Amino acid sequence: MVLLWYIHEKENIKKAIELLKKSLDIQSSFCGENHPDTALLYDNLALGYSAEGDYKKSIELQQKALDIRLFVFGKNHIDTATSYSSLAQVYSKEKIIKKHLNSKKNHLISDYFFSVKITLILLLQTKILIPSVF
């Protein structure tokens, strides 16, 4: 049941990204690239990619939103500050995920070597170990 929900949610995220891309195309063609609403759509699209786990794409889009807001509002505007905050959140998520994956990888390697060690001990104890193999 949880797997079905997960697949359903992933499909919804993909659909949301697809719709946001269309919206961004329309928005930027009418208002141009350097418009606050275009920056907002980049933010929303970045959230979709972040939810999908594509942090590289999310960071790229958050950076575009920030660049637009810096151009339109300058560095001392609340919307610019929000962009900095959003970008920082994606970098934080990416770092946490990478740290978690590295930890998982280290545990898997450790578990593998532990199981090899146990297997060798059991083989030695039962005297099944054939020296020529090793």
**Rounded Cα gap, residues 32 and 71, in angstroms:** 13
**Rounded Cα gap, residues 63 and 59, in angstroms:** 6
Tokens (6 digits) for 95: 């770092």
Angle between helices 78-126 and 55-73 (to 10 degrees): 160
Question: Among the CATH numbers 1.25.40.10, 3.90.1150.10, 2.40.30.10, 2.60.120.620, which is that of 2-133?
Answer: 1.25.40.10
Cβ pair 27, 43 in contact under 8 A: no
CB atoms inside a 10 Å sphere around CB 26: 11
Cβ pair 38, 27 in contact under 8 A: yes
Cβ pair 77, 105 in contact under 8 A: no
State residue 8's pLDDT score.
Answer: 52
**First vs last C-alpha separation in the chain:** 46
Give pLDDT tens digits along the chain (134 positions).
Answer: 344 444 456 778 888 888 889 999 999 999 999 999 999 999 999 988 988 889 899 999 999 999 999 999 999 999 999 898 888 888 887 776 666 566 555 555 555 555 555 555 555 555 544 554 44
State residue 57's pLDDT score.
Answer: 93
> Angle at Cα 70 formed by Cα 68 and Cα 72, nearest 5°?
65
State residue 3's pLDDT score.
Answer: 40
**pTM higher than the cut 0.85:** no
State residue 51's pLDDT score.
Answer: 85
Question: Which CA distances in Å does 61 have to 100, 104, 107, 120, 121?
Answer: 24, 29, 33, 51, 53
